[in-house]
Chains A and B, each alone.
Chain A
């Protein structure tokens, strides 16, 4: 690994290690207008730890999560992730697309509010896909997918249907199932419990707790205070792209 200048001491077992992260958007369509979305972000998350990001809408919480998933390009600094405390870091600011895809299969899961629907693919297939990408057989992965959907109280009649026509809450549960089906060492959660009823919120909370107990590092945005208080070990506040 490239040695990185350390501005302050960090826990040596961190799975997520963000160093002096800068993220800008240049809007070429609007005369090259520059937006500083994130500035000088430093953040570490250890195994078994859950960190909640807090801040007003537009403060940069989602941008930070997306940068950690390499969905957004890092302009400055480093975003490093690893699957275990003794594994080498992968620096997302320098990684090749195939290394990032590999990390997404093996290390880092992302649960967002919205499901990107693929035409003609059934709900259980959507959920089973991350397992199959890891080489698990179709039969086994579908079995586990159904179990997960059952746990999230999605009616069995929906499992074989494409989620395109599902309600917002149903789509979100499919997405949550897909996010939790693999025991990722790192989980990024973008308002996982929004628009869920109390019963399903409880299930998601359990899933997150189980992930923590397994030693996963969780970083999330939790709209709902009760959930945040129940799961988060630390709260990091972001204001105008900076941690305060």
Chain B
């Protein structure tokens, strides 16, 4: 496969045994996917390092969700490239991967949390089966171990173990969202995409979910790209932010710097429009 851009040995100046911290997990260069002029994302470039949580903020229609789907391989890039450094340290060019390789990457190394849990869950399969699906797709053929993984992850996302054989369509919205998270984390992904993960939830349920996400991100050393229009969510979860408007990134930087000292007129407008109780 010519998808491998460089192998670990070819990197210069990298001391052996140093943590991957100095090398980006994701390199995105001039990425575009436009549905129409100004609709979608245009020429987006950034690097994401291991353990970093990057928020993408902007109003609806700003192109942040299109960007997320293009990054996650759900939409084809019209130009630009995405390079991903895998567990072996090989840099993969996402567009040169075969459909099958891309699918496997998306279901093992990566995860995607949809805004609506219906899009990310099998509502008519039990909670345990939802959690076990990634493992089964990877070849796990031991029922007992699948049950164990189901219990472990239900516990991790604070769903009572007694619900393991219940179908998620009988769950509350917050519980469905937590199940979706468990279903993604079971394969121990390194990179998680989240699309408004707290959207559509009650405020008290949101707080619980945010707290859970915060703890999981830290304890599992996840890299995350989270799309949200909620600046409070961004402040709580993201290390750094990209602000998007009409498909373009207008400002990016450290989260608290962007929110406390916004430079771009649009960011200032966004920040000043937030209601604080």
Give the interface of A toward B (CB within 8 A): 25-29, 66, 70-73, 97-98, 100-101, 118-121, 132-133
Contact = CB atoms under 8 A, between A and B. Distances in A.
22 contacts: A25-B261, A28-B269, A29-B268, A29-B272, A66-B261, A70-B254, A71-B261, A72-B261, A73-B257, A73-B261, A73-B263, A97-B239, A97-B240, A97-B253, A97-B254, A98-B239, A101-B254, A118-B236, A119-B208, A119-B211, A132-B218, A133-B218
Nearest to A72: B261
Contacts, number: 52
B260 interface: yes
A132 B253 CA distance: 24
The 10 A-B pairs with the shortest beta carbon distances in the complex, nearest first, are A28-B265, A119-B207, A97-B240, A120-B211, A97-B254, A72-B261, A28-B268, A98-B49, A73-B261, A71-B256
Interface of B: 49, 52, 207-208, 210-211, 214, 218, 236, 239-240, 253-254, 256-257, 260-261, 263-265, 268-269, 272
Contacts of A27: 268
Contact of B257 (A26, A70, A118): A70
A66 B260 CA distance: 10
Given A66-B260, A70-B254, A133-B218, 13 more contacts: A25-B261, A26-B263, A28-B265, A29-B265, A29-B269, A71-B257, A72-B260, A97-B52, A98-B49, A100-B254, A118-B211, A118-B214, A119-B208
Contacts of B236: 118
Contacts of B263: 26, 73
A72 B257 contact: yes
Contacts of A66: 260-261
A133 B51 CA distance: 11
> For the complex, would chain B's binding face be called helix, strand, loop or mixed by DSSP majority?
helix
Contacts of A26: 263
A118 B210 CA distance: 9
Nearest to A95: B254
B59 to A, nearest CB: 16
Nearest to B214: A118
Contacts of B272: 29
A26 B268 CA distance: 10
Contacts of A118: 211, 214, 236
A73 B239 contact: no
A150 B268 CA distance: 41
A98 B268 contact: no
Contacts of B254: 70-71, 97, 100-101
A26 B269 CA distance: 12
Contacts of B211: 118-121
